[in-house]
Amino acid sequence: MKKRFTLKTLLDFAAAHRLHGYDGDCAKLHGHNWKVEVMVTGEQLDDVGMVIDFKEIKRHAKAVVAELDHTYLNDHPAFQNQNPTAENIAAYLFERLAERIDTPQRQVSAITVWENDRNCVTFSVE
């Protein structure tokens, strides 16, 4: 049996957006206090007994999320040609964090973005 460790850390940011082409209230300018769950998976532990230090995950995640914090998401370059939906935000964060965290020993395995206490989306790749 293959062992696998999945680490999860949480952070949040505040940002506004609007959804072009949406038939409903979300077409209007509005904001969220977004919550982000970062999951990193690895099969090997280092000499200390960790896949990766939580501090390292947080450092990278905070740097990426800082690009979005207290902004109008529609103005961000990543969302010039697509709506800043929870789905697209999760995919964007996944890609940016994978660039920073992934090694042969560990990978970002999923990003979950919560737009409120009841609604979230998880992005992962196979």
- Domains of the chain and any CATH numbers: 5-123 (3.30.479.10)
For residue 7, give both structure tokens: 């680490």
The b/e string for 31-65 (b: 16+ C-beta within 10 A; e otherwise) is: ebebbbbbbbbbeeeeeeeebbeeeebeebbeebb
Q: What is the mean pLDDT of residues 3-22?
A: 97
How does pLDDT run across 95-115, given as a tens digit for each residue? Answer: 999 999 999 999 999 999 999
Q: What is the pTM of this model?
A: 0.95
60 is in an annotated binding site: no
- The pLDDT-based confidence of 1 (bands split at 50, 70, 90) is confident
- The pLDDT-based confidence of 2 (bands split at 50, 70, 90) is confident
- The pLDDT-based confidence of 55 (bands split at 50, 70, 90) is very high
- The pLDDT-based confidence of 126 (bands split at 50, 70, 90) is confident
**Residues with catalytic roles:** 26, 70, 115
